[in-house]
Amino acid sequence: FQNIIVIFNKFLLIPFYLIVLNFCTKITVCLLISDSNMSEVQWPWQYSFPPFFTIQPNVETRKKQLDAWRTLLLDYCRTHKICIIDVREGDHLPVFNNTAISRKLSPEAIITVLETLQFTGNAGPVDKSSKARWYIYWHTLEEWATIIYKWAQDNAMLNTVCTFYELTNASGDLNGIDEGVLVKALKVLERRKLAEILTLDSGSGVKFFS
């Protein structure tokens, strides 16, 4: 009789085990779906480290810190198609303000980060007389110029006129590019004798040369 009870209990445990396994599997699937909906920006470990939001006095530590900020800011701006940053509105950008740990970069620290990007050709003040607004070049202007010219080659636009509208609505990185950044990149092509910026009745355009 005891053997019958043991066998009976085993059979009862099997469905219970299957129910638990199925429940855990569903939880795992839900977690995976939740993860897939997270922001495309991959926050580095430093982003959750409070001292990261204070410019460090030690020269070597400061260099590593600013290199990390450069990589993070360029990734963030490229992901969200941000071409201009206003230092005065830095609090509104999650990249500068980690509310989870109540830490944010001060306006002075943001300028220090932007000056680091300027040194590598990845940023520049919109107005040279002020450091309030900055262009962000997740591609340097030289790289943008090469990308634009390749687009012209791939789309049979050499020796013909193309509007700025066509360029800013192109696919890939060019889509949504700020017109100010576009003009600066086209001026690089002008210096290479590969393009000429034109004023058209319908707006601005450019002619690419072969």
Give the residue from 85, 116, 136 where a domain finishes. Answer: 136
pLDDT in tens, the chain (210 residues): 444 433 334 333 333 333 333 333 333 222 222 233 334 678 999 999 999 999 999 999 999 999 999 999 999 999 999 999 999 999 899 999 999 999 999 999 999 999 999 999 999 999 888 899 999 999 999 999 999 999 999 999 999 999 999 999 998 889 989 999 999 999 999 999 999 999 887 788 999 999
Closest CA to 177 of 210, 152, 141, 203: 141
Tokens coding 69: 């900020």
Supply the DSSP string of 169-191, one letter for each residue: TSSGGGTT--HHHHHHHHHHHHH
Pairing between β-strand 123-125 and β-strand 97-98 as defined by DSSP bridges: unpaired
Q: Which residues of 58-78 are buried (b: 16+ CB within 10 A; e: fewer)?
A: eeeeeeebbebbbebbbbbbb
Question: Residue 127 class from Cβ within 10 Å (0-12 exposed, 13-18 middle, 19+ buried)?
Answer: exposed
- 53 and 91 together in one domain: yes
- 52 and 118 together in one domain: yes
Q: How many domains does the chain have?
A: 3
- 56 and 22 together in one domain: no
- 12 and 69 together in one domain: no
- 148 and 173 together in one domain: yes
Tokens coding 23: 């429940």
Q: For position 198, which CATH number holds?
A: 1.10.10.10
Amino acid 35: pLDDT: 33
Give the residue from 110, 136, 162 where a domain finishes. Answer: 136
Alpha helix segments (H runs only) across 37-155: 59-79, 107-119, 141-154
- 21 and 63 together in one domain: no
Range of the domain at 64: 45-136
